[in-house]
């Protein structure tokens, strides 16, 4: 039993760390820089961490940038305001994600570009052969160490780990919790379950200061991923480039909120693409 619990926790934490650190704060926002070796290292770690539910960095980044630009409007690719339950929201999100991850459709130019690219790994990660192989490996581990059949009920969570984390953040972060800032959307800070997502559920804070690598704003808010980022910056693995700082209360002259996140006439295709301008 201890092996199963440890495996589940390690898989959960590794997957959510890769999502917030590599796919979100680096891939979608470019809050920091890293050399090609470390980019490939964390790209591969993300693949290993998410396994059969690996999320293509480009598909993830495009949807996330759209989310900032259209937060909680009808153009938002995953706003809970327009769905009766989290399942229907994520099913619709999957179809929109697939369009971009598999190059079936092209997004607006301002949402594309500046994302980590490793065509071979992304192709492997999105192949059904490898998804099934990962599933078989997880199942084999449970066959070897699960004390009874009830533990096999955890297997679907392993198979869908990446999308599950996305569902928790996109649904919970716009449905439950409190608001520090008025952003013109329904984004909230779900502090009571944020320990499951390493800072991702400080959605209201993040939508206000979209280029701040730290998502916590108030003294009682803790963003675990931010401390990892500080350590990686200190030892030279990454270099924090965003100058934007999370501040509470926000200065009255600042207006980083949702409606201005991606102005309709803004076209950005460089690696510096971001959801909002830095200070």
Average pLDDT over residues 95-110: 94
Q: By C-alpha distance, which of 77, 78, 67 is closest to 24?
A: 67
Is the C-alpha dihedral spanning 169, 171, 172, 174 positive or negative?
positive
Q: Long-range contacts made by residues 218-225, C-beta under 8 angstroms, separation at least 24?
A: 218/180, 218/248, 220/191, 221/189, 221/191, 222/194, 223/198, 223/199, 224/195, 224/198, 224/199, 225/17, 225/20, 225/21, 225/25, 225/198, 225/199, 225/200
pLDDT digits (tens, 9 = 90+) for 23-79: 999 999 999 999 999 999 999 999 999 999 999 999 999 999 999 999 999 999 999
CA end-to-end span of the chain, whole Å? 50
Cβ neighbours of residue 70 closer than 8 Å, sequence gap 6 or more? 76, 77
* Residue 257 banded pLDDT, cuts 50, 70, 90: very low
- Is residue 22's pLDDT more than 60? yes
**Which token pair is 60?**
């993830």
21, burial (CB in 10 Å: exposed 0-12, middle 13-18, buried 19+): buried
Question: Given this model, what pLDDT does residue 256 score?
Answer: 47
Q: Element (H or E) spanning 239, and its range? A: strand 239-240
d(CA 73, CA 71): 6
Delimit the domains of the chain by residue range. Answer: 2-260
| Axis crossing angle, helix 36-50 with helix 2-18, rounded to the nearest 10 | 140
Residue 274's pLDDT is 39
175-200 mean pLDDT: 95
Contact in structure between 21 and 229 (CB atoms under 8 Å) = yes
* Alpha-helical runs (H) found in 174-244: 203-208, 224-234
What is the rounded average pLDDT of the residues 213-221?
97
Give residue for tokens 């909230």. Answer: 188
What pLDDT, on a 0 to 100 scale, did the predictor assign at position 250? 81
CB 87: neighbour CB atoms within 10 A?
A: 11
Confidence of residue 264 (pLDDT cuts 50, 70, 90): very low
Q: In angstroms, rounded to a whole number, what is the distance separating the alpha carbons of residues 121 and 123?
A: 5
pLDDT(226) > 90: yes
Q: What is the pTM of this model?
A: 0.89
Query: Between helices 2-18 and 128-145, what is the axis angle to 10°?
Result: 150
């Amino acid at each position: 039993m201890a092996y199963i619990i440890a495996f589940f926790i390690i898989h959960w934490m590794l997957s959510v760390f890769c999502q917030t650190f590599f796919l979100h704060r680096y891939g979608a926002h470019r809050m920091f820089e890293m050399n090609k070796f470390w980019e490939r290292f964390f790209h591969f770690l993300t693949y290993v961490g998410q396994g059969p539910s690996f999320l293509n960095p480009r598909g993830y980044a495009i949807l996330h940038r759209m989310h900032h630009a259209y937060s909680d409007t009808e153009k938002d690719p995953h706003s809970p305001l327009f769905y009766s339950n989290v399942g229907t929201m994520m099913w619709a999100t999957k179809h929109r994600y697939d369009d971009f991850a598999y190059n079936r459709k092209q997004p607006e130019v301002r949402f594309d570009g500046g994302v980590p690219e490793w065509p071979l790994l992304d192709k492997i990660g999105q192949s059904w052969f490898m998804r099934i192989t990962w599933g078989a490996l997880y199942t084999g581990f449970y066959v070897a160490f699960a004390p009874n059949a009830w533990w096999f009920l955890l297997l679907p969570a392993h198979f869908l780990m990446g999308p599950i984390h996305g569902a928790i953040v996109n649904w919970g972060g716009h449905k439950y919790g409190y608001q520090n800032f008025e952003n013109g959307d329904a984004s909230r800070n779900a502090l009571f379950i944020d320990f499951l997502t390493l800072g991702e559920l400080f959605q209201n804070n993040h939508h206000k200061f979209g280029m701040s690598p730290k998502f916590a704003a108030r003294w009682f808010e803790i963003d675990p991923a931010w401390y990892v980022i500080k350590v990686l910056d200190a030892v030279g693995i990454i270099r924090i480039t965003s100058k934007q700082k999370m501040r509470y209360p926000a200065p009255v002259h600042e207006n980083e909120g949702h409606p201005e996140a991606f102005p309709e006439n803004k076209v950005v295709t460089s690696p510096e693409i971001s959801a909002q301008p830095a200070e």
